[in-house]
Amino acid sequence: MRIALMIAATLYASAAFSQQAAPQAPKPQVNVRTNAVMFSGGPSLGDSDKVRWDFYKADSMGGRSDENVGGAYDATFEEKIPPGRYVAVASLGSISREIAFEVKDGGVTDLAVDFEAAQLTIVPKRSPESKEAEPLARVTVTQDEFNDSVYGSKEIFVPAGELKLQGRIGPAEAEETITVKAGDTLTHDVIIPSGVVVANAVYKEGGRKVETDGIRFEALAETDTLDGTRKTITGTYGPGKIMQMPAGNFIMRARLGKVSVEKPFIVTAGQRTDLTVDLDAGVLAVSAPKAERIDIVETTKDLQGTQKEISGRYGTTHQETLHPGTYSVKVTYDKKTNREPKEVNATVTASERTEINVAD
């Protein structure tokens, strides 16, 4: 009996030790694995860092919350995240796909995405004959919610289907539609008919160049709008500045002081246009010690006996750019001085500076 009890105890202890020593199944070191292809049936994008994966906790409705729990730049990688419900966001350039998934304790979830995309190289040019891409050009590619923009020549990933391309160089614009297939690798020239204009001015033909940045150049549409005005395409202050322009016929308006002159010009796609505007103008400089105000007016009077005001300012000096001709300069003083206003004539000559002093 004693021997039987000893045998039974030994067998029990052996069974208990056997249960404790039995190896448990190892928990996985990762529980999420990813893969991505550019098109259905295409090869894996492998370790391409052009693909970005991000994992977000799912909200109560199963949608994506703002809480990110992991991710990497890699088409194929492995990650370990806590069990639960998630939304994966896979991105290839500006193409984005979402996948809802669940991670269970002890299991591995495999995620795969097909971007149904094409690889498009955009080459913006000013004209079909241009040999180089235009680095200043901006091209926007859109399709439904997809939107991507590039400057100059660049390779991007785009969704398969119809794409809208909008190109811009300054005020010059172009728009077209193309269709691509998933898996395509293609290059497309976007032609934005445009050139550059460099405007300068002289006070008279063959005379002095205008050097002040006070001059304003405005490129205007050739035809008037319904209200009789012309649309301003672009503009700049100062001579010798480069202005981006669409190809076509335009009017350049140059304004300096009280002088405004217009000159037609043509912009050819892919070319530079140098333009010089003849202002036919001179400068009148007036000094009047102790003056309160100086005004420049026309010498002629209208039927009411008034003279048209051209330019004026408070102070003892005044300078204005004017077309050639004779003008009347009026000087007024503070009423407290009991001085009578003075009026003298001054003649302006093109490309010359006329200085007068109205004595006290």
CATH assignment of the domain containing 235? 2.60.40.10
Of the candidates 114, 145, 172, which is a domain's last residue?
114
User: What residue ranges of the chain have pLDDT lower than 50?
Assistant: 1-22
Domain membership flag for residue 3: no
Domain membership flag for residue 13: no
- Name the pTM for this structure: 0.81
Does 203 lie in the same domain as 177?
no
State how far the Cα of 68 lies from the Cα of 211, in Å rounded to an integer. 59
Domain membership flag for residue 82: yes
* pLDDT tens string 148-181: 999 999 999 999 999 999 999 999 999 999 999 9
Domain membership flag for residue 127: yes
Task: Burial-class residue 149 by CB neighbours within 10 Å (0-12, 13-18, 19+).
Answer: middle
CB atoms within 10 A of CB 150: 18
Does 145 lie in the same domain as 105?
no
Of the candidates 278, 312, 343, which is a domain's last residue?
278
Distance of CA 139 to the CA centre of its chain: 10
Domain membership flag for residue 21: no
Parallel, antiparallel, or unpaired: how do β-strands 154-159 and 185-191 relate? unpaired
Does 307 lie in the same domain as 332?
yes
| Structural domain count, the chain | 4
The answer to whether 282 touches 203, Cβ cutoff 8 Å, is yes
Q: What is the CA radius of gyration of the chain?
A: 39
Does 179 lie in the same domain as 143?
yes
Domain range for residue 184?
117-191
Tokens of 47: 């370790």
The angle formed by the CA atoms of residues 85, 87 and 89, to the nearest 5 degrees, is 160
Does 219 lie in the same domain as 179?
no
pLDDT of residue 26: 53
Element at 8 (helix H, strand E)? helix 2-21
Task: Burial-class residue 128 by CB neighbours within 10 Å (0-12, 13-18, 19+).
Answer: exposed
Tokens of 140: 């926007």
pLDDT of residue 234: 97
Does 141 lie in the same domain as 96?
no
pLDDT of residue 336: 87
Does 181 lie in the same domain as 226?
no
Instruction: Tell me the CATH number at 311.
Output: 2.60.40.1120
Tokens of 243: 């202005």
pLDDT of residue 28: 60
pLDDT of residue 27: 54
Distance of CA 345 to the CA centre of its chain: 52
Distance of CA 31 to the CA centre of its chain: 43
Does 225 lie in the same domain as 245?
yes
pLDDT of residue 225: 81
Tokens of 59: 């909200």
pLDDT of residue 16: 43
Domain membership flag for residue 16: no
pLDDT of residue 288: 95
pLDDT of residue 22: 47
Domain membership flag for residue 17: no
Does 271 lie in the same domain as 201?
yes
State how far the Cα of 85 lies from the Cα of 167, in Å rounded to an integer. 43
pLDDT of residue 237: 98
Domain membership flag for residue 292: yes
State how far the Cα of 126 lies from the Cα of 350, in Å rounded to an integer. 39
Of the candidates 67, 90, 114, which is a domain's last residue?
114
pLDDT of residue 1: 39
Does 273 lie in the same domain as 237?
yes
* pLDDT tens string 282-336: 999 999 999 999 999 999 888 888 889 999 999 999 999 999 999 999 999 998 8
